[in-house]
């Protein structure tokens, strides 16, 4: 069938789509490059973003996790306040809105009913909306004022991989364009830095055995697992935990390292796997402290750090990329660890139980 052809020699779509990520990043860079070779976004969209007094990112699942990273970009690079909301909550429990909000919907499929319900509501209220989606002509794209496309190609596996990194890359381009428009110097060349990210992703995808081994060592029999991080590493941890839950059915939790001691650390027993991410210099020592805290209580710790921040005993060191873009590289090991954990546990990687690729009911 057509599916088999598209999968090529890959055993699963998820693996194929994980491998496509460096290519997708380069594709996005091409798609958003202007005649001067700079990354640019449609002027109307940049104006809508910079004229808003606050951005409300609304999304579900993996797209919500990309939104959390996007908040970091839009606030740090372009200096625009951002709130990120889960669509199913926002629609029934709307926060007090600012005077001139702009809504940004992030949705791989562009068809998620929970997000659409919010879009319908904010349009009724007369506000503008931008949809970031992989599917041109999708409902969320048609009903919003503006669309930014992900150019990730069809994503078939239920567990989202390349759409997540595409969303983050497009959000970085949007933040960069908004910064330029606002006369803010971000201090780095995004074209150059995204190129480095694509290369780093390639290195990670070429070294899969490493992540298969981590899955074997930490996850083959466990019932639970924690992903800890601080700052954006926490957000990537949320995505790592979601991937693991979705396809391996291991109870996984993404946690802010510093918050563990306020309750969750009670769950740490002898051998509990704790995967820690350390890509941010400003919190490197803090997360190291959290790793020590859980290790002292018996946790089986696995630290994934970024080149330049590594310490003795780290299980894996990511190739160096710009700190802000670290989620793009750091999520790849998490995707692959989840993939192999699911495989080792005989789970149906591409079609996990109880889940649908696109949820079109509220």
SS3 276: strand
**115 or 165, CB closer to ligand G6P?**
115
Cα-trace Rg, the chain:
20
Let me know: does 159 contact 65? Beta carbons within 8 Å.
no
- Best CA proximity match to 125, nearest among 107, 99, 87: 99
Segment near ligand G6P (CB under 6 A); pick from 47-55, 61-69, 198-206, 268-276: 61-69
107 is an interface residue for ligand G6P by CB under 6 A: yes
**109 to 128, contacts with ligand G6P by CB under 6 A?**
109, 112, 115
SS3 292: helix
x-marked contacts with ligand G6P along 192-221 as a string, rule CB under 6 A = ------------------------------
* Cβ neighbours of residue 300 closer than 8 Å, sequence gap 6 or more: 218, 271, 272, 273, 274
**163 or 268, CB closer to ligand G6P?**
163
Cβ 103 to ligand G6P shortest distance, Å: 14
x-marked contacts with ligand G6P along 19-58 as a string, rule CB under 6 A = ----------------------------------------
- Which of 123, 181, 351, 357 is labelled catalytic? 357
Segment near ligand G6P (CB under 6 A); pick from 60-68, 142-150, 196-204, 343-351: 60-68
Position among 21, 22, 61, 302 found at the interface with ligand G6P (CB under 6 A): 61
Cβ 358 to ligand G6P shortest distance, Å: 5
Task: Please count the other Cβ atoms lying within 10 Å of the Cβ belonging to residue 265.
Answer: 17
Segment near ligand G6P (CB under 6 A); pick from 59-67, 70-78, 95-103, 268-276: 59-67
Per-residue DSSP letter, 220: S
CA distance 115 to 359: 10
292 is catalytic: no
Q: Whose CB is nearest to ligand G6P?
A: 61
**133 to 172, contacts with ligand G6P by CB under 6 A?**
158, 160
SS3 80: coil
**132 or 175, CB closer to ligand G6P?**
132
Segment near ligand G6P (CB under 6 A); pick from 3-11, 106-114, 175-183, 257-265: 106-114
63 is an interface residue for ligand G6P by CB under 6 A: yes
Cβ 136 to ligand G6P shortest distance, Å: 14
Q: Strand 273-278 relative to strand 224-229: parallel, antiparallel, unpaired? A: parallel
CA 314 to chain centre: 23
CA angle 309, 315, 318 (to 5 degrees): 50
CA distance 61 to 270: 31
Cβ 239 to ligand G6P shortest distance, Å: 10
How many residues make contact with ligand G6P (CB under 6 A)? 16
- Best CA proximity match to 25, nearest among 191, 177, 189, 169: 169
- Element (DSSP H or E) covering residue 349: none
**166 or 214, CB closer to ligand G6P?**
166
Cβ 165 to ligand G6P shortest distance, Å: 13
CA angle 241, 246, 248 (to 5 degrees): 90
Position among 53, 285, 355, 362 found at the interface with ligand G6P (CB under 6 A): 355
Let me know: does 75 contact 49? Beta carbons within 8 Å.
no
Burial degree of 129 (CB within 10 A; 0-12, 13-18, 19+) = buried
231 is an interface residue for ligand G6P by CB under 6 A: no
Task: Please count the other Cβ atoms lying within 10 Å of the Cβ belonging to residue 132.
Answer: 29
Catalytic residues: 357
Instruction: Return residues touching ligand G6P (CB under 6 A).
Output: 60-63, 107-109, 112, 115, 158, 160, 355-359
């Amino acid at each position: 069938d057509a599916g088999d052809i598209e999968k090529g020699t890959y055993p699963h779509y998820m693996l194929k789509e994980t491998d496509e990520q460096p290519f997708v990043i380069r594709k996005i860079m091409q798609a958003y490059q202007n005649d001067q070779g700079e990354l640019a976004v449609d002027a109307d969209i940049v104006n809508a973003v910079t004229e808003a007094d606050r951005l409300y990112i609304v999304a579900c699942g993996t797209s919500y996790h990309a939104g959390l990273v996007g908040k970091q970009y839009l606030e740090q690079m372009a200096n625009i306040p951002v709130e990120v909301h889960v669509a199913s909550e926002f629609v029934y429990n709307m926060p007090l809105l600012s005077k001139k909000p702009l809504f940004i919907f992030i949705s791989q499929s562009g068809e998620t009913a929970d997000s659409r319900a919010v879009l319908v509501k904010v349009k009724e209220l007369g506000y503008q909306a931008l949809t970031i989606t992989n599917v041109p002509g999708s409902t969320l794209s048609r009903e919003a004022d503006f669309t930014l496309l992900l150019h990730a190609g069809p994503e078939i596996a239920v567990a989202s991989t390349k759409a997540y990194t595409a969303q983050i890359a497009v959000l970085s381009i949007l933040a960069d364009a908004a910064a330029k428009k606002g006369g803010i110097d971000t201090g780095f060349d995004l074209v150059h830095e995204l190129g480095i990210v694509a290369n780093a992703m390639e290195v990670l995808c070429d070294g899969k055995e490493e992540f298969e081994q981590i899955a074997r060592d930490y996850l083959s029999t466990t019932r639970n697992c924690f992903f800890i991080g601080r700052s954006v590493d926490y957000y990537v941890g949320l995505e790592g935990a979601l991937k693991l839950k979705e396809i391996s059915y291991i109870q996984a939790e993404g946690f802010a390292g510093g918050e563990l001691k306020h309750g969750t650390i009670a769950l740490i027993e002898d051998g509990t796997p704790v995967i820690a991410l350390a890509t941010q210099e400003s919190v490197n020592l803090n997360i190291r402290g959290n790793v020590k805290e859980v290790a002292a209580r018996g946790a089986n710790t696995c630290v994934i750090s970024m080149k330049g921040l590594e310490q003795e005993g780290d299980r894996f060191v990511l190739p160096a990329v710009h700190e802000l873009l670290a989620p793009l590289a750091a999520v790849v090991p998490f995707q692959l660890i989840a993939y192999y954990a699911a495989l080792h546990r005989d789970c149906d990687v591409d079609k996990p139980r109880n889940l649908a690729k696109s949820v079109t009911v509220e």
